[in-house]
Chains A and B, each alone.
Chain A
Amino acid sequence: MSSFNIFDIAGSGMSAQSVRLNTTASNLANADSVGGDPARVYKAKHPLFEAIRSGLGSNAASTGVAVRGIVESQAAPAARYEPGNPLADADGYVYAPAVNTVEEMVDMISASRSYQNNVEVMNTAKDMMLATLRLGQ
């Protein structure tokens, strides 16, 4: 029965969202990882989602999600004048990664809601299949 595809689809959604949660956690954890070299300071990471079709043509059987890769933000780190900081460069500046914590929090909530959606889909599909197995009893 093709309903087994639902587990693959919802599972791929859950794994993609958990990658997104991971990158968000990493961005938030490193929001204050300052450094003296702007080129080597932490860069915010974001996953690239892509729909994967299995099957042929426009009537493809199922469409899961794949994480095509994780891109690093190209935004320039913010320079702070902190001459007392042991990490400061010769001019007294430290560089903080360009992580927007508000944006990351929103991303986190969105990812967790999407994850919950996929879990619900999986639970419902499981109940439906179990009910189908009981058919005729």
Chain B
Amino acid sequence: MRARRNLVTTAGLLGAAAVLLAGCAQDPAETPGKGAPAGGKGQTTLTVGVFGAFGLQEAGLYDEYMAQNPGIRIEQTSIERNENYYPQLLTHLGTGSGLADIQAVEVNNIAEITSTQADKLVDLGKAPGVDKASYLPWKWAQGTASAAKGGATVGLGTDIGPQGICYRKDLFEAAGLPGDRAAVGALWAGDWNKYLEAGKAYKAKAGEGKAFVDSASGVMAAVTGSSAQRFYDEQGKVVYKTNPAVRGAFDLAASFATEGLSAKLQQFTPAWDQGFANGTFATVSCPAWMLGYIQDKAGPAGKDKWDVAPAPKPSNWGGSFLVVPKAGKHAEEAAKLAAWLTAPAQQAKLFEKRGSFPSASAAYKLPTVSGAQHAYFGGAPIGEIFAKAAEGIPVTVVGPKDLVIAQNLADIGMLQVDQKGRSPQEGWEAAVKAINNALDQ
């Protein structure tokens, strides 16, 4: 909320400033953008709108680009939470004003963007320097509108979220399970049900007050992330209700709750953070971007206790895209920048500095990715683990309301089972009811 209010204020101030500067500009055609030195050589200011700590700026990519292109200045505006960022992006696209030259889009929103906003965005597939072959095919497909909508690639993939299982080596060993990451991965390789079995084995020895997973909804996100078809079919019809993959994931995750293997936490809440610090749970399905979060929350005390093993099946959770609105003043320059920011070399840098895993598979061969190890996680070869997961992720069908469906399944359905002790059937029905209302059915 605070972020949103700040943005409104900032937008207001920027708007006022833009009006003033436009009035003062000597030659608007020659010196576009604000901050142009009066009478001097034209300098173009490109704005990038992102949510959260996106990392492009933090990894020094803007500085590098500005050094290579003296005529370009890059400014970033960030809104903390995507729930606040995304509706604003939609309204700005609708009115064609208030847009940054480049806007970030979260993977759960990309289908809605490609299916409803493609005509307002630049086709980046044709931008100079963009090579389709260097991206993972499923990521490229997600950023591309259907043939019926023009077939333009409006979103260039940045990072993705291939998942592993982060686990507490010390807790595993104390419960008589193996501690070595290869042996741990072998415990459940190929089947999410084996993950449940491992949990039961853990619980039998670990005793009261020690949970196997942080939350049932985390398990559900991981399991649904490994199936090609989830909430929509290829024709764009909502099928989550009848799709056995979704119901199967829901029921499997719910059994973590009913078997007492879950710490009954809600992810990304203060209590969840405290759970990391206190070692309340032994495992968590972790996309590559979560490693830094765990390190942050578990603190120095957790060093060499946490490790990461491959997940039962390759699965994706999260990731983002960059889009360039046509309404921007410098669409051409912006497309060039977007292409550069998402090129394999830059994605590898982003991974090195920020841990965001590249969606450009060409980057996996670069030594910074292939040889990457995570010191906090016992020197785990994360480049290898996550690259293998990334290449095994199926081409997922994404739909416009994926986020709403996933959110209600997790925050209504699974949370009722996990925290309120409702039966899985009751949780499912509550989620379906909420989703029906949300989808206006």
A binds B: no
B residues apposed to A, CB below 8 Å: none
Binding site for B on A (CB under 8 A): none
